[in-house]
Amino acid sequence: MNVSVTATPPTDLDADLLLIPLTKDPADVYVDVLADALGDAVRRAIGDFEGEAGEALLLYPEDAIAPRAALLGLGEMEALDAEPIREAAAAGADVATARTVETAAFLLPEVEFDVDRMTQALVEGFILGAYQFREHKTDEPTPRPETILLYTGEKERGTAGAQRGRIAAQAACTARDLVNRSPDKKTAPLFAEAIQDSGAAHGYDVDVWDQARIEDEGMGGLLAVNRGSFEPPTFSVLTWAPDDAINDRPLVLVGKGVVFDTGGLSLKDTKNSMDLMKSDMAGAAAVVGAFEAIADMGLPLHVIGLVPATDNRPGRKAYVPGDVITMHSGATVEVLNTDAEGRMLLADALSYAQSLDPELVVDLATLTGAVVVALGNNAAGVMTNEDDEASERLYAIQRAGERTGERVHPLPMYADYKKQLDSPVADIKNVGGRAAGSITAGKFLEHFIDYPWLHLDVAGMAYTKESKPYRPQGGTGFGVRLLADFLADYAERENATRDA
Ligand code: BES
Ligand code: MN
Ligand code: ZN
């Protein structure tokens, strides 16, 4: 989608649809301005308009002013924030899509709100709201919106926000595409190829390890999960290392890449369980999307991505409950449930990350159903190893979550929880029972790390069965905008402390 800020007044623009975000009870002077520009139809429409967030009202102003216009509700002025702005823009995208609009133009509301945050949220909401997954459709596509214009009065005003919004939203759409893709089109080797294509298109480096290399590295957890599969595992290493990187030690992003999770021999039920498991690589998809955003934004940070990938199946050689696996770190794990597979391959990736001497590691994983019980579909769980540095980052990622609408909520990591993983035969077992299932998964991963670390359990957030504002049914792209915002903020802070 083309996105640009314009100084040409909306009535002189060649747009198919004018989008007019409005808070509840807009100021009379602003209504007068709109009526002067667009005619009295606007005044009558505003009379019929509540202004609730997400509400849209289409109107047809007099000829030659604009072919169509839509009022978009922003909710109460006092509660105005990026999230209702995204919702309003997504409602605008719905209007545009239903009427085969090619060019839509936003008129920025006259409200006290940072203009770059405003344009960013408008663009994000519009692009994310207009998203459709058509990869496997064979019918003719209907025309899609191609261009978004934003009238801010001046060409420079709001441009940075608009471009950030475009980059972040498009990167989130990449993650959605990967999650929505049919599992047989994203086996571990095909998924790794897709990551390579993304790297080539966006200018970051991708190195894909094959089975032999994974064996050389001794990644017993990834190999154990892969034993029931017909397809080999892959381990993709993504690198963004610009010359102007301001961090000496890399930031590392790790994504769970289980391209399909049957549960293995601990087989899942189909309905509302296995039928969702093409999304079990959503953590990995978020890392790929984040790399696209980081590269497109040209962030001055050294970032490494790690994506261990395989499917989890009950094949002839599948690992079984009772198997003791020697992991990359050398630790042994008693497998008591083959459906707790994500932690097996993440543990190997996290243990490998140790060799990169990281400043911070953030992993994203659709790891436990328990996190959906705890937090539902409104926030991801975040856990840390609670060292001082990680605690600071925890606060930073929570704020990034509020800014992006991709919320993360902390879960405790008391040492007592670790006891649930005691094994009579190995160093640790891979399940800790029903109580605090997300936390014991976190404690399992913590066993393999010794650096500042944030673990995001995104099982409730990666995929939505019903459509929500700016999130159509399917993969949500959760984590991409969160990471992009968190890292951009990280770079800004580092720069600020250096200059000081
Ligand atoms: N991929 C699942 C977790 C999941 C559940 C993701 C629902 C998205 C939606 C994970 O591999 C899994 O099966 N976890 C088990 C762990 C248990 C066996 C300890 C679970 O949550 O039931
Ligand atoms: Mn599983
Ligand atoms: Zn899984």
Atom 3 (ligand 1) nearest CA: 368
Which residues form the catalytic set?
268, 343
Residues whose beta carbons lie less than 5 angstroms from ion ligand 2: 261, 339, 341
Partners of residue 208 on adjacent β-strands: 236
pLDDT by residue for the chain (500 residues), tens digit each? 999 999 998 878 889 999 999 999 999 999 999 999 889 899 999 999 999 999 999 999 886 778 999 999 999 999 999 999 999 999 999 999 999 899 999 999 888 999 999 999 999 999 999 999 999 999 999 889 999 999 999 989 999 999 999 999 999 999 999 999 999 999 999 999 999 999 999 999 999 999 999 999 999 999 999 999 999 999 999 999 999 999 999 999 999 999 999 999 999 999 999 999 999 999 999 999 999 999 999 999 999 999 999 999 999 999 999 999 999 999 999 999 999 999 999 999 999 999 999 999 999 999 999 999 999 999 999 999 988 888 889 999 999 999 999 999 999 999 999 999 999 999 999 999 999 999 999 999 999 999 999 999 999 999 999 999 999 999 999 999 999 999 999 999 988 888 77
Residue-level pLDDT at 497: 85
Asked if residue 64 lies in contact with residue 56, where contact means CB atoms within 8 angstroms, the answer is no
**Closest atom of ligand 1 relative to the 312 alpha carbon:** 11
Atom 9 (ligand 1) nearest CA: 459
Ligand nearest to the CA of 366: 1
Q: Give the Å distance between the CA of 221 and the centre of ligand 2.
A: 13
Residue 398 buriedness (CB in 10 A; 0-12 / 13-18 / 19+):
middle
The residues lining ligand 1, judged by C-beta closer than 6 Å to any ligand atom, are: 261, 276, 280, 337, 339-342, 366-370, 431, 437, 459
Q: Give the Å distance between the CA of 209 and the centre of ligand 3.
A: 21
The gap from C-alpha 404 to its chain's centroid, in whole angstroms, comes to 10
What's the chain look like in SS3? CEEEEECCCHHHCCCCEEEEEECCCCCHHHHHHHHHHHCCHHHHHHHCCCCCCCCEEEECCCCCCCCCEEEEECCCHHHCCHHHHHHHHHHHHHHHHHCCCCEEEEECCCCCCCHHHHHHHHHHHHHHHHCCCCCCCCCCCCCCCCEEEEECCCCCCCHHHHHHHHHHHHHHHHHHHHHHCCHHHCCHHHHHHHHHHHHHHHCCEEEEECHHHHHHHCCHHHHHHHCCCCCCCEEEEEEECCCCCCCCCCEEEEECEEEEECCCCCCCCCCCCHHHHHHHHHHHHHHHHHHHHHHHHCCCCCEEEEEEEEEECCCCCCCCCCCEEECCCCCEEECCCCCCCHHHHHHHHHHHHHHHCCCEEEEEECCCCHHHHHHCCCCEEEEECCCHHHHHHHHHHHHHHHHHCCCEEECCCCHHHHHHHCCCCCCEECCCCCCCHHHHHHHHHHCCCCCCEEEEECCCCCEECCCECCECCEECCCCHHHHHHHHHHHHHHHHHHHHC
**Closest atom of ligand 1 relative to the 261 alpha carbon:** 1
Please give the biggest Cα pair distance in the chain: 80
Partners of residue 414 on adjacent β-strands: none
Residue-level pLDDT at 401: 98
Q: Give the Å distance between the CA of 263 and the centre of ligand 3.
A: 7
Asked if residue 455 lies in contact with residue 442, where contact means CB atoms within 8 angstroms, the answer is yes
Torsion, Cα of 446, 451, 456, 459 (10° steps): -40
Residue-level pLDDT at 495: 86
Q: Give the Å distance between the CA of 95 and the centre of ligand 1.
A: 38
Q: Give the Å distance between the CA of 318 and the centre of ligand 1.
A: 18
**Closest atom of ligand 1 relative to the 268 alpha carbon:** 13
Distance CA 278, CA 198 (A): 20
Residue-level pLDDT at 157: 95
**Closest atom of ligand 1 relative to the 368 alpha carbon:** 21
Ligand nearest to the CA of 370: 1
Structure tokens given for 412: 């405790």
Residue-level pLDDT at 63: 67
**Closest atom of ligand 1 relative to the 441 alpha carbon:** 19
Ligand nearest to the CA of 310: 3
Atom 17 (ligand 1) nearest CA: 340
Cα–Cα distances (Å) from 390 to 359, 361, 369, 396, in that order, read 10, 9, 25, 10
Atom 16 (ligand 1) nearest CA: 340
Identify the structural domains of the chain with CATH numbers, from first to last.
2-157 (3.40.220.10), 181-499 (3.40.630.10)
Q: Which of 258, 268, 311, 339 to mutate to test the pocket of ligand 1 (most atoms within 8 A of CB)?
A: 339
Q: Give the Å distance between the CA of 363 and the centre of ligand 3.
A: 14
Ligand nearest to the CA of 367: 1
pTM: 0.98
